[in-house]
Amino acid sequence: MPSKLDYLDLLEAESIHIMREVAGQFERPALLFSGGKDSITLVQLALKAFKPGKIPFPLVHIDTGHNFPEALEYRDRLAEETGAKLIVRKVEDTIKAKGLKEPGGKFASRNALQSYTLLDTIEEFGFDACIGGARRDEEKARAKERIFSVRDEFGQWDPKKQRPELWNLYNGKIAKGENVRVFPISNWVELDVWNYIKREGVELPSIYFTHEREVLVHGEFLVANSPYIRIDEGDIIEKRNVRYRTVGDMTCTAAVESTASNIDDIIAEINRTNISERGETRIDDQVSEAAMEDRKKNGYF
């Protein structure tokens, strides 16, 4: 006999329990919002967790300046509709204030620099917990991370010093200066997120659906033509029908060729594809086997 609850109900109940643990255990939590489907799912879960009250923590966006305009527009609208407080801090400002070196190269990604802005923002507002939309199925280093992941004063993750996490008991006890990254959808996989978005009727930024876009064809990757990437002689730039499977920066997120115009089409496409989400869309993960582990150790999300 199967359980009385559907798997999405079970995942949802677990995530809501985690959201409420954050609100109950911490004084100044925040929800890190990127405009992507995973953080949109987090907002949906947070809304449900605290109904009829409002979400008892702000949404924080670390803006690299390389965002898709559609994601920014969506962000502002969501904050207005939900009545959630929105805090935006720009990587651009951190670069100027700290005299950081702008990354170079063809796809100069500010992705790694986000960590600096994030740590400054955590310090500025005294956040003791930051909720994020990372999932364990995304990447091997993430498969080992706890739901409550403690970071030291420098925002560093030490995989060898992780706290054992048993049953549904989460230990968010920290010293001053430390903070906890909390991942309520750790146990969701990509398709769970899409099926949940479908079931809940959650609206998404338009770039998740098919649209015509000018892209740079770079090997297997299709990268949006934008002022943030370097166009070299001989580069192939074409108009293609694409959608985004993940939404990150314009410089490091690749589009996939697709005519999927609704969630059902997208779910069907993901079921058919034989390439993983990050493998298909994240240019920044291709560097080394431990790219994510290294970034996380340095304070990355």
Residues that bind other proteins (CB under 8 A): 1-7, 9-14, 16-17, 20-21, 23-24, 48-54, 136-137, 140-144, 159-169, 171, 173-175, 186-187, 189, 191-192, 273-276, 279-280, 289-290, 293
Alpha helices per DSSP H over 99-235 = 114-125, 190-200
Shortest distance in whole angstroms from residue 94 CB to other proteins:
28
CA–CA separation, 17 vs 11, rounded Å? 10
Shortest distance in whole angstroms from residue 65 CB to other proteins:
29
CA–CA separation, 44 vs 32, rounded Å? 13
Report the run of H or E that residue 215 belongs to, with start and end: strand 211-218
Report which of 185, 181, 137, 193 is spatially closest to residue 301, judged by C-alpha positions: 181
Shortest distance in whole angstroms from residue 220 CB to other proteins:
10
Shortest distance in whole angstroms from residue 126 CB to other proteins:
18
Which residue number, 19 or 118, has a Cβ lying nearer to other proteins?
A: 19
CA–CA separation, 205 vs 77, rounded Å? 11
Which residue number, 49 or 122, has a Cβ lying nearer to other proteins?
A: 49
Which residue number, 53 or 234, has a Cβ lying nearer to other proteins?
A: 53
Shortest distance in whole angstroms from residue 130 CB to other proteins:
17
Shortest distance in whole angstroms from residue 203 CB to other proteins:
18
Which residue number, 18 or 242, has a Cβ lying nearer to other proteins?
A: 18
Partnered with residue 252 across adjacent β-strands are none
Which residue number, 249 or 293, has a Cβ lying nearer to other proteins?
A: 293
Across 92-125, b (16+ Cβ under 10 Å) vs e yields bebbeeeeeeeeeeebbbbbbbbbbbbbbbbeee
CB atoms within 10 A of CB 212: 9
Which residue number, 101 or 176, has a Cβ lying nearer to other proteins?
A: 176
